[in-house]
Amino acid sequence: MSTALLTDKYELTMLAAALRDGSAHRRCTFEAFARRLPDGRRYGVVAGTGRFVDALAHFTFDADALAGVADFLDEQTREFLAGFRFGGDIDGYPEGELYFPNSPVLSVRGSFAECVILETLALSVLNHDCAIASAAARMVSAAAGRQLIEMGSRRTHEQAAVAAARAAWIAGFDGSSNLAAQQRYGVPALGTSAHAFTLLHTGPDGTADRAAQDASERIAFAAQVDALGVGTTLLVDTYDITAGVANAIAVAGPELGAVRIDSGDLGVVAGQVRRQLDELGARNTRIVVSGDLDEFAIAALRAEPVDSYGVGTSLVTGSGAPTAGMVYKLVEVDGIPVQKRSAQKGSQGGAKESLRVAKPSGTITEELVFPAGHRPAIETGLTARPLSIPLVRAGEPVGTPDLGAARALMSAGLTSLPWDGLKLSRGEPAVATRVVSAR
């Protein structure tokens, strides 16, 4: 399906004007970057460049797409779009890489005509996926090695849910409840049942008393164990958590895989459930908690006997994952640097490259951004790693996205931050960005 109309009208009106006055074919460089990090964030995580490159392959104007723009575009512009395919070059930070203010996350080179009409597509993908990955990375850090499951599909747009699961996986989550993410990207699918399954097994006497509740709950648990085995996870808080745990072990035995708690004071309840499971001989049964968790709630539960966290709303909505604030700006025309000078919305002119400078220990000291082709000297004793990689050459993708490599890069990035860079409290970016101007 064409992705060409995943754009804004003003991009095509600029195209039309540029074609009319002959400037459309001037060689340009556009860059995507964030002027600042969202309030309270100390680093960002790149995700979505692979999805953007995939979408670029479908950025063509078929008959339906052309019909959708025919009422406001002249014949010259329609003819240009009818044969359009991006033929330029794109470099960018690999998925899983950290970014900071002014990091040139994406660099798009080609004619003005072919670069300008990619703005909305690039930003809609990057702003969404980088926001999710950045929020997920904070949760991974807070979880300190415990399992994290992305469960946000029911809290966002159906296609955004798939992208969110992918971004969370890059950032270190262990899996997602979303099956489309498993099919498209290989994200492990995790999850068992909801309260509805227990309520489905209500007997003719309803659930008015404890005996009826226990009977219906045991029937539901037995059905789930019969279908999925004793390694399954049973949801124990439909009625009474203490009774639910007892019923779960009575049905599945002490080798039950896990119990899930979705309500109450999770810290207090987790401790009570752990003691009860141990007393029942289910010492290896894991405890999964869910219910409006964010990185702060996860951090608060760090001392409790919780084995796994299910995260949904706070990961996929704006309150938990504020937009990455990426912008897409023209920085060079025919080799000449150009830049905005607007107050608080300025840009740095010229095509750029960047280095991640670190101590011999691997701890990052700064992000160094400099004019392309003019790498500055690095202080003796420090190491410097180029950050951008080729993504597209002459319109063709370079390689294929490797989400396993992205996960590994993300993990290494977190361990390379200065010690205070992982704090959840508000503060300055964990790493300063130094922009070197052209002389």
Residues whose CB is less than 8 angstroms from the CB of residue 361 and which lie 6 or more positions away in sequence, other chains included? none
pLDDT of residue 278: 98
Structure tokens at 158: 């159906």
Question: Can you list the pairs that 377-383 forms with residues at least 24 positions away whose Cβ atoms lie under 8 Å?
Answer: 382/357, 382/358, 383/357, 383/358, 383/359
Nearest residue to 362 via CA among 404, 434, 406, 419: 419
- All CATH 3.20.140.10 domain ranges of the chain, comma separated, are 9-133+325-435
pLDDT of residue 222: 98
Query: Mean pLDDT across the stretch 118-141?
Result: 97
Residues 236-281: pLDDT tens digits?
999 999 999 999 999 999 999 999 999 999 999 999 999 999 999 9
Strands 389-393 and 89-92: antiparallel
pLDDT of residue 118: 98
- Contact yes or no for 410/192 (Cβ under 8 A): no
Specify the DSSP class assigned to residue 335: T
- Contact yes or no for 134/110 (Cβ under 8 A): no
Checking if the pLDDT of 46 tops 80, the result is: yes
User: Measured between alpha carbons, how far is 73 from 376 in angstroms, rounded to an integer?
Assistant: 46
Nearest residue to 48 via CA among 160, 157, 155: 160
CATH homologous superfamily of 9-133+325-435: nicotinate phosphoribosyltransferase (3.20.140.10)
Report the number of secondary-structure helices (H) and strands (E) in the chain: 15, 19
Find residue 327's DSSP bridge partners: 33
Sheet holding 106-111, edge to edge: 336-337, 326-333, 27-34, 106-111, 89-92, 389-393, 396-397
- Contact yes or no for 395/85 (Cβ under 8 A): yes
User: Measured between alpha carbons, how far is 221 from 196 in angstroms, rounded to an integer?
Assistant: 12
User: Measured between alpha carbons, how far is 419 from 361 in angstroms, rounded to an integer?
Assistant: 13
Residue 316, H or E segment: helix 313-316
**Among the listed ranges 118-122, 346-350, 374-378, 392-396, which one has the minimum average pLDDT value?**
346-350
pLDDT of residue 320: 83
pLDDT of residue 241: 97
Nearest residue to 50 via CA among 350, 431, 392: 392
pLDDT of residue 439: 54
What pTM does this model have? 0.95
What class is the 192-306 domain? alpha beta
Q: What is the radius of gyration, based on Cα positions, of the chain?
A: 26
pLDDT of residue 438: 62
- All CATH 3.20.20.70 domain ranges of the chain, comma separated, are 192-306
Query: Mean pLDDT across the stretch 98-116?
Result: 98
Structure tokens at 159: 């296609």
Q: Where are the beta strands (DSSP E) in 372-438?
A: 383-386, 389-393, 396-397, 432-435
Q: Where are the beta strands (DSSP E) in 351-416?
A: 352-358, 364-371, 383-386, 389-393, 396-397
Residues 176-232: pLDDT tens digits?
999 999 999 999 999 989 999 999 998 877 776 888 899 999 999 999 999 999 999
What is the phi/psi pair of residue 289, to 5°?
A: -120, 150
Residues 314-344: pLDDT tens digits?
999 877 889 899 999 999 999 999 988 877 7
CA distance to 25, 149, 283, 405, 432, per residue, from 170 (Å):
37, 13, 32, 9, 24
Strands 89-92 and 106-111: antiparallel
Residues 64-94: pLDDT tens digits?
999 999 999 999 999 999 999 999 999 999 9
User: Measured between alpha carbons, how far is 74 from 341 in angstroms, rounded to an integer?
Assistant: 32
Residues 212-224: pLDDT tens digits?
899 999 999 999 9
pLDDT of residue 242: 97
pLDDT of residue 158: 96
